[in-house]
Amino acid sequence: MARYMRWLGEARGRRFDSYDDLWAWSVDDLEGFWGSVWEHLGVIAHRPYARVLERSLSGNRVEGARWFTGAELNYAEHALRRRDDHPAVVFTNEAGASATLTYAELAQRTAEAAAGLRRIGVGKGDAVVGYLPNVPEAVVAALAAASIGAVWSCCPPEFGAPSVIDRFAQLEPKVLLGVDGYTYAGRRFDATAGLREV
């Protein structure tokens, strides 16, 4: 917050004596505040926004408002901007096994997964779904799909095949990613039958 406030003073000539003053500005001038946040964070847009805020017919309320209209961006690009050796994903399963992916490793694995998806014909607007537990591979798959403009949806195997089929059928997925087993409530479960059904 201090860095942002310093930046506002230097880049925009807006100085605030306290957090309360900043907060008052943030709620009085929504467009000015959120436009400055966009700029300060260095949001990468493939198409810039036309307006920060289009208010709804309800007047000054933000319910139904549209933010950053016209902008086109890819959140995977933002999640993968950092390429250093700091932890990006820290995982521990129920059995106590843990794994850490650095930002550099996450970017590399995501690029490899995205290349694999492209090789099998996945493109912008296609749906990629995962029948996966909460594991680092699910994060990689989600970012890989998003990085090429594909739609991502994921359900854990403990949901059971019928509810997963109902959910995924709405998307008409081009690719299904899954696991052969998972641990839940301290027990190991085979997921191959459910995966075949899905």
Query: Quick one: 51 and 88 in the same domain?
Result: no
Query: Quick one: 118 and 50 in the same domain?
Result: no
Q: What is the CA radius of gyration of the chain?
A: 21
Q: Tell me the three state secondary structure of residue 109.
A: helix
Phi and psi, residue 12, nearest 5°: -115, -5
Query: Quick one: 186 and 112 in the same domain?
Result: yes
Compute how many other C-beta atoms are within 10 angstroms of the C-beta atom of residue 27: 8
User: What is the pLDDT at residue 55?
Assistant: 82
Q: And the tokens for 116?
A: 């694999």
| Residue 8 contacts residue 1 (beta carbons within 8 Å) | no
| Residue 182 contacts residue 158 (beta carbons within 8 Å) | yes
Q: Read off the CATH number of the domain in which 138 is found.
A: 3.40.50.980
Query: Quick one: 32 and 130 in the same domain?
Result: no
Is 32 exposed, middle or buried (CB count within 10 Å of its CB: 0-12, 13-18, 19+)? middle
Last residue of a domain, one of 73, 104, 132: 73
User: What is the pLDDT at residue 129?
Assistant: 98
Query: Quick one: 18 and 106 in the same domain?
Result: no
Last residue of a domain, one of 73, 99, 125: 73
Structural domain that includes position 38? 2-73
Query: Quick one: 40 and 83 in the same domain?
Result: no
User: What is the pLDDT at residue 115?
Assistant: 99
User: What is the pLDDT at residue 137?
Assistant: 96
Closest CA to 48 of 61, 37, 39: 39
The overall average pLDDT reported for the chain is 93
Q: What is the pLDDT along the chain (198 residues), one digit of tens a residue?
A: 999 999 999 999 999 999 999 999 999 999 999 999 999 999 999 999 999 999 876 666 677 889 999 999 998 999 999 999 999 999 998 888 899 999 999 999 999 999 999 999 999 999 999 999 999 999 999 999 999 999 999 999 888 889 999 999 999 999 999 999 888 888 888 989 889 998
User: What is the pLDDT at residue 57?
Assistant: 63
Query: Quick one: 31 and 111 in the same domain?
Result: no
User: What is the pLDDT at residue 16?
Assistant: 94
